[in-house]
Amino acid sequence: QSTSSSSRGAFIVFEGLDRCGKSTQVSRLVDRLEREGRKARLQKFPDRTTAIGKMIDAYLQSKAEMDDHAIHLLFSANRWECAAAIKRDLEQGITVIADRYAFSGIAFSAAKGLPFDFCLQPDKSLPLPDLTLYLTLPQEEASGRSQFGEERYETVSMQQATRKQFALVAQEVIKIHGEDRWIEIDARGTIEELEDRIKGLIGNVTEGVNGDIGRLWV
Ligand code: FDM
Ligand code: MG
């Protein structure tokens, strides 16, 4: 099926706790779309390559300490510095697949005790994802995967607190933007099983979408 000239690329976000398989699925999806001849780009958040991203990276690796509010705002600033490129690509018909976005921003910071509304504000009016896929995995499975525990937030208590906040984030997305924009996916099983499940749920959104790019939380 061909993409109509008036349609733009879709903005698809993958969210979930650590070690749920997000990064593997995101890169497989981008690879598949490219094999199918579509234009697709992967955008990872945090983008650790920028100046702000390097500060975030040092914090996550516990090489630097930072006030909770300050690091929250840096995560948001890291999205804002990428926002124009995301919009430009979508308008040029490129599907942008993000590995985490503002929803992680709220869930992780609120899990540390920052007020939910404070966490939401700095991302207000960023490009709105057309679809967010929230991958869920029982904590015992995620904790058992290799490399769990390497970075700052990878403790069972932090992950459990973040899981609760993600449920509130989902409610907020559905309330403000409608239930079509948030899909929860059971991330158990093999890489291939999850890939097939995701393929089925994404449907034809990667063929392009019509209408303007929305604004987050607006
Ligand atoms: N994280 C990620 C946040 O705390 N806020 C954010 O805005 C984002 C995008 O950073 F623990 C957390 C989530 C995770 C950590 O993410 C690093 P990756 O996907 O493991 O690089
Ligand atoms: Mg991680």
- Total-model pTM: 0.96
Measured in angstroms, how far is the CA atom of residue 8 from the centroid of ligand 2? 31
**Residue ranges, the chain, pLDDT below 70:** 1-6
Provide the 10 A C-beta neighbour count for residue 156.
13
Measured in angstroms, how far is the CA atom of residue 151 from the centroid of ligand 2? 6
Domain spanning 11-205, CATH class: alpha beta
69/200 Cα distance (integer angstroms): 39
177/207 Cα distance (integer angstroms): 21
pLDDT tens across 14-32, in order?
999 999 999 999 999 999 9
Mean pLDDT computed over every residue of the chain: 96
Residues around ion ligand 2, judged by CB within 5 A, are: 18
Handedness of CA 105, 73, 81, 44 (dihedral sign): negative
Domain extent listing, the chain: 11-205
pLDDT of residue 1: 46
So what's the ipTM on this one?
0.98
